[in-house]
Amino acid sequence: MTPLMTPPMAPPMAQPQTLRWRMPLLIRISIVLHAAMLVTIVVNPHAWAWVLSAIAANHLVITLVGMLPRSTWLGVNFTRLPAAAVARREIALTIDDGPDPQVTPQVLDLLDRYEVKATFFCIGDNAERYPELCKDIAARGHSVQNHGQRHPHYFALLGMGGLAREIQSGQDTLTRIAGQRPMFFRAPSGLRNPFLDPVLARLGLRLAAWSRRGYDTCTPDAATVRRRLLRDMKAGSILLVHDGNCAHTAAGVAVVLEVLPAVIDAARDAGLRFVTLAAALSSNQLATECRSA
C-alpha cells in the first residue's frame, strides 16, 4: 500500500515587528513653539493676537508639508530605492488602487509577457470584492502592499485612532487574502498628517511614496503620461501608475495598458532592471537606508 503523502506545511507568516519611531525635527520645533507661546500668553496676555498668529502659521506649515507626497518633514518617506539597489541598476514599478476586475488581469498578463515584477498597493475593500484577483497578483510573483482598507479621500484628516483602524484593517485584509504581510504603506493620494508616522512604526510598516508619477487617473492622453514617467527616470526610481481608478484613452483603453510597454522598453534600453520594493533591499537596508532615502 502506498503511504499517504502529507502536504508540506506552509512556512509560518512573519509577524509584524514594531519599528523605532523618531520624532521628526519639524514636530519637535512645533512642540517647542507651542510651549513658548503658552509661556508668552501667561506672561503677557496682551500678546494673544501675536501668539495665535504664530500658532496658526505653524499649523499652516505642517498642513502644507502633509500635502507634499514626497516630503520627509513629517517622517520617513521612501521615495527612491536605497544605494545598494541603485548600484544594481534596479527600478521599481508600483501600481495603485486595485485590484480592478477589468484592468488588473490585463496588467498582469502584460507584466508576464515582459517578465516584470511589480508592487501592487491594493485597497482592502477592493481585495475583498475580488479576492481571486488579489491572490493572482501574489501567485504571479508580484508584491501586495497596503493602500488602506477604504482609501478615504479625508485620510489626511483622521486622528491617530482613525489612521490606525484604517491601516490595520487594510493590513489584516491583504494578509488574509494574499497570504503575504505587507511591509509598506502608501497614503491615499500621498496626503498625510503628523499622526501617520508613529502609527506606521507601531504597525511595522514603512511609508512608500514615489519618484515619478504619470497622473494616469486624470490624464487620458497616454503620450503625456508616458512622458511624465520617463522624465529623469534612472536607477533607484519608483514609478507610480494605477490599475484602479485609471483614466481611459479616447478609444476606451486603460491608459496604464498603453503606457507600460513603452516605459518597460525604455527602462531596459537604459540598462535598468525591474524589482519589487521588498526584493530591492534586505531587512537591514529597510531598517537603515530607507530612513535616508
- Contact indicator for 68, 193 with CB cutoff of 8 Å: no
Over the chain, what is the mean pLDDT? 91
**Residue 15 has what pLDDT?**
54
- Contact indicator for 184, 277 with CB cutoff of 8 Å: yes
Residue 63 grid coordinates? 498642513
How many other β-carbons are positioned within 10 Å of the β-carbon of residue 35? Answer: 10
pTM of the predicted model, to two decimals?
A: 0.89
Q: Is the pLDDT of residue 155 over 90?
A: yes
> For 170-188, what is the mean pLDDT?
97
Say how far apart CA 126 and CA 226 lie, in whole Å. Answer: 26
Q: Is the pLDDT of residue 213 over 70?
A: yes
Say how far apart CA 52 and CA 81 lie, in whole Å. Answer: 41
Give pLDDT tens digits for 227-249.
999 999 999 999 999 999 999 99
Give pLDDT tens digits for 248-274.
999 999 999 999 999 999 999 999 999
When pLDDT is cut at 50, 70 and 90, the band that residue 220 belongs to is: very high
Name the catalytic one among 100, 216, 242, 243: 242
Residue position matching grid coordinates 503606457 = 259
Annotation says 153 is catalytic: no
Give pLDDT tens digits for 102-152.
999 999 999 999 999 999 999 999 999 999 999 999 999 999 999 999 999
Annotation says 96 is catalytic: yes
Fold classification of 83-292 is TIM Barrel (3.20.20)
Domain ranges in the chain are 25-66, 83-292
Q: Is the pLDDT of residue 1 over 60?
A: no
> For 62-90, what is the mean pLDDT?
94
Nearest to 184 by CA among 208, 148, 160: 208
Name the catalytic one among 96, 100, 197, 216: 96
